[in-house]
Amino acid sequence: MTVKSLVFAALLLPLTAGEVSQWKSLFNGKDLSEWVDVNTTPATWSVKDGLLVCTGKPIGVMRSKKQYENFILHIEWRHMKAGGNSGVFVWSEGSTPKNRPLPKGMEVQMLELEWPKIHAGKDGKPRHIGYVSGELFGANGLTATPANPRGNRSMSYELRCKGKGEWNTYDVVCVDGTVKLSINGKFVNSISNSSVRKGYLCLEAEGSLIHFRNIQIMELPPGITTPEQTAPVVGK
């Protein structure tokens, strides 16, 4: 089976934990055993009523225990306050640069719809609406080629995210330096030629309360990834 056909077949499979052996749950609804704190606090991340709850403070990340190369990530999230900011990093480093709270990696942006208005520009006008479209971009030195450029970022061709208190579903397909993002059931964004193609997943705390659930991953066959395209391994 080719990678293309495997991805297509995987996306058709149910995502109920335990029913599909290829899918691995990264959050069991009980604890954070699949994650390692990088630079936040024990109070930043918790489990409540089967949900992964992030206070957003302090700004920072927690990472997956292992690195991933080619995979499909399914993750559901909802902001609980207007203008909330968060995201998930793929192919990221498991540590943060000196004096910076976020790692080098590919960020899959998760912004609440009011963010451009609440964080208006110096002229008082709302910032570009592309911010809330599930933008894809390299952070802290990772480079890539955006499919729908807004500077060095790629914004979605269609705005599909829902506002505070509503659940959003991201399906993120990461293969050989290309990331394709489906938002609430439709692929609408892509970025390619990532300078890093194997690394950690990181969930981001960035100032506001956010909930996560149903975080699952399916690993795909590896590609031709060089040591230079692989994030440094960090201790457990």
Q: How many residues does the chain have?
A: 236
Per-residue H/E/C for 196-228: CCEEEEEEEECCCCEEEEEEEEEECCCCCCCHH
Cα separation, 190 vs 157, whole angstroms = 9
What does the domain layout of the chain look like in residue ranges?
3-223
Cα separation, 146 vs 139, whole angstroms = 13
Q: What is the mean pLDDT of residues 30-51?
A: 97
Whether 17 shows a pLDDT value over 50: the answer reads no
Instruction: Give 20's pLDDT tier (boundaries 50, 70, 90).
Output: very low
What does pLDDT average to over the chain?
92
Cα separation, 71 vs 229, whole angstroms = 16
Give the model's pLDDT for residue 26.
98
For the domain made up of 3-223, the CATH class stated in words is: mainly beta
91-109 confidence digits (pLDDT tens): 999 999 888 999 999 999 9
More confident residue, 188 or 20: 188
174-213 confidence digits (pLDDT tens): 999 999 999 999 999 999 999 999 999 999 999 999 999 9
More confident residue, 109 or 14: 109
Whether 6 shows a pLDDT value over 50: the answer reads no
128-141 confidence digits (pLDDT tens): 999 999 999 999 99
Considering the entire predicted model, what is its pTM?
Answer: 0.90
206-229 confidence digits (pLDDT tens): 999 999 999 999 999 999 999 999
Whether 53 shows a pLDDT value over 70: the answer reads yes
